[in-house]
């Protein structure tokens, strides 16, 4: 049963990747690299872990996922649409005038979006606030947040890291999409945040390092994180920017450029042909 | 004159009272709770008070998260650090996100005194007023502060409350009721109108008494809500007096003066003289000395009224 479930989640991640490519192709602009690198994590959350109800997206006791690296909006939109928060056809409206699918997630417009993000470095603070409120209200929801490894160059992230540990927010799990790239190049060249796991540990977090494309590993890490008491948890996910589309993988140039029609076809053929994306490990 | 109370003192009391009435209210501070007076609330409701340390950006983001989960957070620090340091967090995580966060910023303006220009916010009204959906309250006394705090908690959406360090006398009588967005006419007059906010309201009333001695009848308005501005009251003052003076403990750029000019130029253009800091930073000194230096005084306001009336005559003539 577990094996079948993992297989189902891999297929789901692949479907999310295909939607990312399609919607970016139609929009003509947007961010494929960091959307694709996060697809397996997001698939695990939305199709296995999060306690959410698309019919009742504002239930007070729902789990929350905050996409702090808001430029990866397509991965969130694909998951929300496939999970039933809005019609999948609406993905075609990405970045168009009047669309609920803004270039970066807008919680005022689209059901299922827990926080308006896009300005990097702000999501963890918000996640802290939601986690604090859960503790105050005695609700057992969990808060998940996804950060970019370039994003953590922002000072606010470390203010928030300190505060989450200070307030013992064990209902908070963060993922770091450790794809080692940002806009201007490799993070180690632009401004190294390494060693990343040590830094989070030093800030008082429970830290795991996993292969961010290995579905079984992602699920194991989430389960382990859920049993940690008294500490927020960081799951450093080793990922590949552009994962799943050969010509985008590890290419800085695919951070914020949409695929052209021919490229869309090639990407979809790769994703379609290969079926579910296999884990690295 | 009745005793003076700083609006930050009133804020502390109002917040502690609000805490009893509304269990959704939570308070955040950034290591200044004794100065901002949120310590009053913390003393009564320790479980609903969060000291975030010297980390204003994270404080605002955390407040946004608390608001998204149904709390009514009041986040406090000095105005320079609230509106300044955390501006972009207020913009994106609060206002753009449409979240119900109340930012109560103390130590606004030059009456901070000896700490000097680094600590004297003279631009926060301009910054906060420029954000879509932000309500901006600048209370003049204890009663307006109580009203602003209560109104902020009752309304949905982001609110900025600007508070001061120095004591101010009451400007309202017993029957006063704070209505958000409604200016209060404190004194009638047809020769000119002074539109003031914060500590400058009591100064404006003094100026009006002095001017009355010269035969000049001056209307005085307390514009406790700088945004949304009571355009009706501003236009009525322009129409009925023909000469306006604004008075605020803030730069003449972008604050109440800017807001009033914007309102009259598109509706009923009349001369407007702005009393405020003339595009400079503050400096160390005693609060009274600084107010004197920058003309934020009854005589400074009176002089501006005389000039505005001359301009009105010039326009007519
Ligand atoms: C505060 C802020 N500064 C700059 C940007 C522009 N920007 C968008 S994405 C990005 C790089 C993000 O890198 P990373 O966090 O590693 O994300 P990923 O590589 O996973 O896409 C930058 C600088 C922004 N959105 N917000």
pLDDT in tens, B3-58: 899 999 999 999 999 999 999 999 999 999 999 999 999 999 999 999 999 999 99
Distance (Å) from CA A88 to ligand 1 centroid: 27
Read off the pLDDT of residues B219-241 as tens digits, 9 standing for 90 and up. Answer: 999 999 999 999 999 999 999 99
Q: Residue B6 burial (CB < 10 Å; 0-12/13-18/19+)?
A: buried
Is A206 near chain B, with CB under 8 Å?
A: no
Residue A204 is encoded by which pair of tokens?
Answer: 């008082």
Most B CBs within 10 A among A64, A119, A121, A125, hence the mutation to make, goes to A125
A238 lines ligand 1 (CB under 6 A): no
- The Cα A238–Cα A69 span in angstroms is 16
Distance from the Cα of residue B143 to its chain's centroid: 13
Average pLDDT over chain B, rounded to an integer: 97
Whether residues B62 and A162 touch (CB distance < 8 A) is answered with no
pLDDT at A273: 56
Q: Nearest-CA distance from A5 to chain B in Å?
A: 32
Strand partners, A235: A175, A208
Non-local (6+) Cβ contacts of A280 within 8 A are A211, A213, A214, A238, A240
Element spanning A16, H or E: helix A2-27
Nearest-neighbour CA in chain B from A126: distance (Å): 4
Ligand 1 site, residue A188, Cβ cutoff 6 A: no
What is the separation, in whole angstroms, between the first and last Cα of chain A?
Answer: 21
Helix (H) or strand (E) holding B193: strand B192-196
Q: What is the Cα–Cα distance from B197 to B181, expressed in whole angstroms? A: 13
Q: CA B168, CA A192: separation in Å to the nearest integer? A: 51
Q: Give residue A150's pLDDT.
A: 98
8 A C-beta contact, residue A148 and residue A69: yes
Contact A132 B65 (CB under 8 A): yes
In the structure encoding, which two tokens stand for residue B219, read together?
């209307």
Which residue in chain A has the smallest CA separation from B54? A159
> In degrees rounded to 5, what are phi and psi of residue B253?
-95, 120
- Please return the burial class of A177, using the count of CB atoms within 10 Å of its CB with bins 0-12, 13-18 and 19+: buried
Cβ neighbours of A155 in B, within 8 Å: 57
Q: Are B61 and A129 in contact (CB < 8 Å)? A: yes
- For A31-70, give the DSSP string: --HHHHTTHHHHHHIIIII----TTSTT-TT--EEEESSG
CB half-sphere exposure, B305, CA atoms < 13 A: 33
CATH class of the domain comprising A3-271: alpha beta
CA A131 to chain B, closest CA, distance in angstroms equals 8
pLDDT grade for B317, boundaries at 50, 70 and 90: very low
Dist CA B286 CA A39 (whole Å) = 59
Q: Strands, E, within A116-160: which ranges?
A: 143-148
Look at residues B27, B123, B55, B112 and name the one whose alpha carbon lies nearest to residue B83.
Answer: B123
Q: Which atom of ligand 1 is nearest to the CA of A181?
A: 19
What's the pLDDT at B113? 95
Domain boundaries, chain A: 3-271
**Residues B197-222, buried b or exposed e (16+ Cβ, 10 A)?**
bbbbbbbbbbbbeebeeeebebbbbb
With a 6 A CB cut-off, is A34 part of the ligand 1 pocket?
yes
Cα(A199)–Cα(B209) distance, integer angstroms: 64
- Give the integer Cα–Cα distance in Å for A71 and A29: 11
Neighbour order of strands in the sheet with B102-106? B49-51, B25-29, B72-78, B102-106, B159-162, B135-137, B225-227
- CA B125 vs CA B78, B82, B98, B139, B148: distances in Å: 13, 11, 19, 12, 15
* Predicted local confidence at residue A276, as pLDDT: 47
Rounded to a whole number of angstroms, the distance from the CA of B53 to the nearest CA of chain A is 8
Active site residue: B56, B142, B248, B249, which one?
B56
Q: What is the pLDDT of residue A87?
A: 98
A241 lines ligand 1 (CB under 6 A): yes
pLDDT score for B15: 98
Position A2 scores a pLDDT of 80
Q: How far is it, in rounded angstroms, from Cα A175 to Cα B17?
A: 40
The Cα–Cα gap between A100 and A108 comes to 9
CB-CB neighbors (< 8 A) of B70 in chain A:
60, 133, 137
Per-residue pLDDT of chain A (281 residues; tens, 9 = 90+): 589 999 999 999 999 999 999 999 999 999 999 999 999 999 999 999 999 999 999 999 999 999 999 999 999 999 999 999 999 999 999 999 999 999 999 999 999 999 999 999 999 999 999 999 999 999 999 999 999 999 999 999 999 999 999 999 999 999 999 999 999 999 999 999 999 999 999 999 999 999 999 999 999 999 999 999 999 999 999 999 999 999 999 999 999 999 999 999 999 999 985 544 444 33
A34/A73 Cα distance (integer angstroms): 9
DSSP H or E segment with residue B145: helix B142-154
Contact B98 A167 (CB under 8 A): no
Which pLDDT value is given to residue A1? Answer: 53
User: What kind of architecture, by CATH, is found in domain B5-168?
Assistant: 3-Layer(aba) Sandwich (3.40)
- Indicate if B184-316 has the same CATH topology as B5-168: yes
Class of domain B184-316 (CATH, top level): alpha beta
Of A116, A124, A130, the CB nearest to B92: A116
When pLDDT is cut at 50, 70 and 90, the band that residue B314 belongs to is: confident
pLDDT in the model for residue B316: 46
**What is this model's ipTM?**
0.94
- State the pairing for strand pair A233-238/A206-211: parallel
Angle between helices B56-68 and A123-137 (to 10 degrees): 50
**Spatial separation of the C-alpha atoms in residues B66 and B73, rounded to whole Å:** 7
Among the listed residues A187, A154, A257, A35, the one whose alpha carbon sits nearest the alpha carbon of residue B92: A154
CB atoms within 10 A of CB A165: 19
Of residues B138, B204, B136, B150, the one with CA closest to residue B18: B150
How much is the pLDDT for A279? Answer: 43
Contact check, Cβ <8 Å, A129/B68: yes
Cα radius of gyration (chain A): 17
Residue-level pLDDT at B35: 97
The domain spans of chain B are: 5-168, 184-316
* Stretch (H or E) spanning B220: strand B218-222
pLDDT tens digits for range B147-199: 999 999 999 999 999 999 999 999 999 899 999 999 999 999 999 999 999 99
CB contact under 8 A, B97 and A163: no
Closest chain B residue by Cα to residue A163: B52
């Amino acid at each position: 049963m577990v094996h079948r479930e993992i297989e189902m989640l891999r297929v789901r991640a692949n479907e999310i990747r295909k939607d990312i490519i399609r919607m970016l192709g139609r929009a003509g602009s947007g961010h494929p690299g960091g959307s694709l690198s996060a697809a397996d994590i997001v698939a695990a959350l939305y199709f296995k872990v999060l306690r959410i109800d698309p019919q009742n997206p504002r239930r007070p006791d729902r789990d929350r996922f905050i996409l702090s690296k808001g430029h990866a909006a397509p991965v969130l939109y694909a998951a929300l649409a496939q999970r039933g928060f809005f019609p999948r056809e609406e993905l075609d409206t990405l970045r168009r005038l009047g669309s609920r699918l803004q270039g970066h997630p807008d919680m005022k417009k689209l059901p299922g979006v827990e926080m308006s993000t896009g300005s990097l470095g702000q999501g963890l603070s918000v996640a802290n606030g939601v986690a604090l409120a859960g503790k105050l209200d005695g609700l057992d929801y969990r808060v998940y947040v996804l950060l970019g490894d370039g994003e953590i160059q922002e000072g606010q992230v470390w203010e928030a890291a300190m505060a989450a540990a200070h307030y013992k927010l064990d209902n908070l799990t963060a993922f770091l999409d450790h794809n080692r790239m940002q806009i201007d190049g490799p993070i180690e060249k632009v401004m190294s945040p390494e060693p990343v796991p040590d830094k989070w540990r030093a800030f008082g977090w429970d830290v795991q390092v996993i292969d961010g494309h290995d579905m079984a590993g992602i699920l194991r890490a989430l389960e382990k994180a859920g049993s940690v008491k008294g500490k927020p948890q960081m799951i450093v996910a080793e990922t590949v920017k552009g994962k799943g589309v050969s010509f985008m993988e590890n290419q800085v140039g695919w951070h914020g450029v949409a695929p052209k029609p021919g490229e869309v076809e090639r990407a979809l053929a790769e994703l379609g042909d290969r079926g579910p994306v296999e884990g690295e490990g | 004159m009745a005793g003076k109370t700083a609006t930050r003192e009133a804020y502390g009391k109002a917040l502690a009272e609000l805490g009893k009435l509304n269990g959704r209210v939570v308070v955040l501070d950034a290591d200044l709770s004794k100065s901002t007076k949120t310590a009053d609330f913390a003393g009564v409701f320790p479980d609903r008070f969060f000291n975030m340390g010297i980390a204003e950006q994270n404080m605002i983001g955390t407040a946004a998260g608390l608001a998204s989960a149904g709390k009514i957070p009041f986040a406090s620090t000095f105005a320079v650090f609230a509106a300044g340091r955390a501006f972009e967090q207020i913009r994106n995580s609060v206002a753009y996100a449409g979240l119900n966060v109340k930012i109560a910023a103390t130590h606004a303006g030059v009456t901070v005194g000896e700490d000097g220009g680094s600590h004297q916010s003279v631009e926060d009204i301009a910054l906060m007023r420029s954000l879509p959906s932000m309500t901006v309250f600048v209370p003049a006394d204890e009663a307006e502060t109580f009203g602003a705090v209560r109104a902020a908690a009752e309304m949905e959406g982001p609110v900025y409350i600007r508070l001061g360090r120095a004591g101010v006398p009451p400007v309202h009588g017993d029957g006063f009721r704070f209505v958000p967005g409604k200016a209060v006419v404190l004194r009638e007059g047809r020769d000119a109108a002074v539109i003031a906010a914060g500590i400058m309201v009591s100064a404006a009333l003094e100026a009006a008494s002095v001017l009355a001695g010269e035969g000049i009848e001056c209307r005085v308005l307390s514009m406790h809500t700088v945004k949304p501005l009571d355009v009706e009251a501003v236009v009525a003052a322009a129409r009925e007096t023909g000469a306006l003076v604004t008075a605020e403990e803030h730069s003449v750029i972008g604050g109440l003066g800017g807001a009033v000019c914007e309102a009259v130029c598109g509706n009923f253009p009349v001369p407007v003289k702005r009393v405020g800091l003339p595009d400079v930073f503050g400096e160390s000194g005693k609060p009274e000395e600084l107010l004197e230096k920058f003309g934020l005084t009854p005589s400074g306001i009176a002089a501006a009224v005389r000039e505005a009336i001359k301009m009105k005559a010039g326009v007519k003539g």
